[in-house]
Structure 1
Amino acid sequence: MPEPTGAELAAVRERREQLREKYLHPKSTRSPSTARGIHHAAFVCRDVEETIRFYQDFLGFPLVELVENRDYTGSSHFFFDLGNRTLLGFFDFPGLDHEPYKETIGALQHMAISVTSEQFEAAKAKLDDAKVDYLGPDRGADDSLYFRDPNGMGIELYREVLGNFEGSELL
C-alpha cells in the first residue's frame, strides 16, 4: 500500500478527530449496548482437518461441534470454544476454488483473541517451536502476537482484559 503524503495524512487525522468529536461519547453518557455479545463469527476455511488441528491442537480452543452446513450440501460447519461463551465458527465449501487470502473491503483484517499471560507465553513458545512467523510482542507492554492461521486469516493473541484496549477501559 502506498504511503500517504504529508497533506493526505494530515487530512486523515483531521477527519478522524472530527469523527471522534461527533460520535465518541464519554463513557458516563453512553447508552448501554443492545447486544449481548458475539455468539459466533463464521469464516471460510480451505481444509477442515488442518483448521481443527491449528485451533484445537495448536492454540488450545476446543472443538465443540461439527455438523453439515444446512445451506450447502456437503459443506461442514464447525465451532471452537473461545471462552466466555463465545464461539469461533468455520465453513468449508468443497469444490470451491479458494484464492489466497487478501486484506480487502469486507474481509477480516485480524481477529484479536484475549488470553491470559500464561496462555500468551505458552502460545509464543509453540509459535517459536513450530517456526511460525509472527509479529510482536509490541506496544511496549508485550501484549500482542500477530500471525496467520492456515487459511491466511490474521490472528492476534492479546494479553489484555476483555473490554480494554491498550490499557484503557473502554466498556
Structure 2
Amino acid sequence: MAIKTTGINHIALVCRDMKETVHFYTEILNMPLFKTVQLPDGGQHFFFDCGNGNSVAFFWWDDAPPAAPGIASVKEFPFDAKTAVGSMNHLAFDMAEDELEAAIVRLQDANVPLTPAVLNHDDSPQGVAPAMHDGVFVRSVYFTDPNGIMLEFAATTRAFGPEDIAHEPATCNTAEG
C-alpha cells in the first residue's frame, strides 16, 4: 500500500526564548497559540496555527546549543544563504497575493527587518525580476523571527505545469557525499 499524506501537520523548530517567540508569532504574525506542552526534561513545546490546518511548533530548552548561523540557519539573506545539509534554510508561509502588501506593512510597523522589496521569483538567470511579468511564479518577502529563523511570506502567482520541471537533479561530487 502506498503512503498517502495530506500535507504538513507541523514543522518543529527550536527557539532561544519561548516568551519572545510567543509574542512574535501571536502578536506580529497573528498565528494563534493553540497548544502548550511542558516536557519532562524541563523544556517546552508550543504550537501555533499558521492557517489551513497547518502549524508551526517550537521547542525550548534552557540548555539548548547556541544558534549556528551559516550552518544550521541562514547567515544573511540573500548574500549568505547557504546552510548545511540537513538544516532548515527557511520557512515559507503561503498567502494570497493581495495580502502581501498588508503583511509587509504589518512587519514594518513592528520594526521587523525584511527584504527591501517584494521579490518577483522567475526563471531568469538572476532568479528574480525587478517587475511583475507573466513568468513570475511567486512573489515574496523575507524576514527573520527573534530566533534568527528566516521566514518568507510567499504568494504563488500562477499554476505550475510540466514545463516547470526543466532541470536534471544534481548529484554530490565529493567522497563525503
Normalising to structure 1: TM-score of the pair?
Answer: 0.69
Q: After alignment, is 58-67 or 91-100 more displaced? A: 91-100
Residue 24 (structure 2) aligns with: 54
Q: What SS does structure 1 have at the residue aligned with 2:119?
A: coil
Q: What SS does structure 1 have at the residue aligned with 2:51?
A: coil
How much identity, in percent, do the aligned residues show? 33
Do structure 1's residue 169 and structure 2's residue 149 form an aligned pair?
A: no
Q: How far, CA to CA, are the matches of 2:47 and 2:69 in structure 1? A: 21
Q: How far, CA to CA, are the matches of 1:101 and 1:51 in structure 2? A: 18
Which of 80, 83, 105 pairs up with 2:48? 80
- Deviation of 1:155 after TM superposition, in Å, equals 0.5
Give yes or no for contact 1:42–1:88 (8 Å, CA) kept in 2: yes
Give yes or no for contact 1:101–1:151 (8 Å, CA) kept in 2: no
Q: How far, CA to CA, are the matches of 1:146 and 1:51 in structure 2? A: 18
Q: How far, CA to CA, are the matches of 2:36 and 2:96 in structure 1? A: 27
Number of equivalent positions: 133
- Deviation of 1:121 after TM superposition, in Å, equals 2.4
What are the ranges of 5 or more consecutive residues in structure 1 without an aligned counterpart? 1-31, 161-165
Residue 114 (structure 2) aligns with: 134
- Deviation of 1:87 after TM superposition, in Å, equals 1.1
Q: After alignment, is 104-113 or 139-148 more displaced? A: 139-148
Q: Counterpart amino acid of 1:38?
A: I
Rg larger for? 1
Higher helix share: 1
Residue 43 (structure 1) aligns with: 13
Q: How far, CA to CA, are the matches of 1:39 and 1:58 in structure 2? A: 22
Spell out structure 1 runs of 4+ moving beyond 4 A.
Answer: none
- Deviation of 1:39 after TM superposition, in Å, equals 0.8
Q: Counterpart amino acid of 1:66?
A: T
Q: How far, CA to CA, are the matches of 1:41 and 1:110 in structure 2? A: 11
Q: How far, CA to CA, are the matches of 1:47 and 1:146 in structure 2? A: 21
Q: Counterpart amino acid of 2:51?
A: G
Cα RMSD over matched residues?
2.3
